[in-house]
Amino acid sequence: MKSLRRFLFMLLLIPLLTGCSAVRFVPKGRSMLTRVHLTSNNPQVAAADYRNYVRQEANSRWLSTLKVPLGIYCLSGTDERNALNRIVHRIGEAPVVYNDTLTGYSMAALRMALQSKGYLQARVDTTLTQKQRRVALTYRLLPGNRSYVHELRREFDNDTDARLIDGRFVEFETLQRHAARPRAARRGTHAHRAPIAKTAAIGTPTMSM
C-alpha cells in the first residue's frame, strides 16, 4: 500500500517538475507547444472528427491530465554526453517545439477536409496564446453553409453511382471518381461524357461542377 501511495505521489509531482524545467530543453528563440484546441462554430460539425488533420500536437498526457512522459524526460540533464541522461531521454518524451509551418499545413488540411464534405466555403482560423516561452494553439472550424446537389444531368450510357443523387450534399471524391472513369469504358462513342452536376448551398448562388 505504501508503494502505491509513493507511486501516485510521484505521478502528481512529475507535472510540477515539468512546468519548472521543460523549457530549458527548448532551443533559444523558440517556444514550447503546451496545448492544442479544436473547436467548431457549427453544431453539425464535430471538431473531434477532424483531429487527425492536425499536424502537430502537444506532449501526450496520461489520463488526459498528466504529462508523465514529458515529466520523466525533464528529470534528466541537458548534457547528451551523459549516459544516464540519454537513457532517461529515450524513456521520456521531449518537449514539443512549436512550428508555425505545421500550423499552416494543419489549416490547409482541415479546410480541404471540410470542403470534401460539402462545405465549399469553409474557413479555418487560429488563435495563438503565448506566455513567456509557452504556446497554446486553438483551431476554429468555420464550415459555413453546406452545398447540395441541385440538379444532375446524365450524358453517358452506364449508370452513375447511386450515392450521387439529387438532394445529396456535394462530395468531391464522388464527383472526381466519375470524372476519372477509365477511358476504355467510354471509348467507341462520342456520346459518353462525365456527369454534370449543378450544386446549390443555402444562401449561396447555384454553381456548376
> Measured between alpha carbons, how far is residue 14 from residues 8, 18, 114, 144 in Å?
10, 6, 39, 43
- For the beta sheet containing 123-131, the strands, ordered from the edge strand earlier in sequence to the opposite edge, are 32-40, 134-142, 123-131
Q: Which segment of 15-24, 32-41, 97-106, 123-132 scores lowest on mean pLDDT? A: 15-24
Residue 190 has pLDDT above 50, yes or no: no
| Amino acid letter, 202 | I
Residue 194 CA to its chain's centroid (Å): 32
Q: Of residues 192 and 39, which shows the higher confidence score? A: 39
* Pairing mode, strands 134-142 and 147-153: unpaired
pLDDT at 7: 52
Which position has the higher pLDDT, 111 or 167?
111
Most confident of 21-25, 37-41, 69-73, 79-83: 37-41
Higher-pLDDT residue of 81, 197: 81
Count of C-beta atoms within a 10 Å radius of residue 103: 20
Percent of the chain scoring above 90 in pLDDT: 37
Neighbouring CB atoms inside 10 A of 21's CB total 18
Residue 122's alpha-carbon distances to 11, 108, 119, 152, 169, in angstroms, are: 42, 11, 5, 24, 14
What local confidence, expressed as pLDDT, does residue 175 receive? 65
User: Which pLDDT band, with edges at 50, 70 and 90, does 89 fall under?
Assistant: confident
CA distance 34 to 61: 11
Supply the pLDDT for residue 67. Answer: 78
Query: What's the rounded Cα separation, in Å, for the pair 74 and 100?
Result: 24
Task: Write out pLDDT tens, residues 102-152.
Answer: 999 999 999 999 999 999 999 999 999 999 899 999 999 999 999 887 776
Please say whether the dihedral angle defined by the alpha carbons of residues 110, 115, 116 and 118, taken in this order, is positive or negative.
positive
Q: For residues 157-182, give the mean pLDDT.
A: 60
Alpha helices in the chain (DSSP H): 2-21, 68-74, 83-91, 100-116, 172-179, 183-186
Residue 98 is given by DSSP the state P
* Statement: the pTM of the whole predicted model exceeds 0.75: no
Answer yes or no: is pLDDT of 29 > 80: yes
In terms of average pLDDT, the best of 11-15, 50-54, 152-156 is 50-54
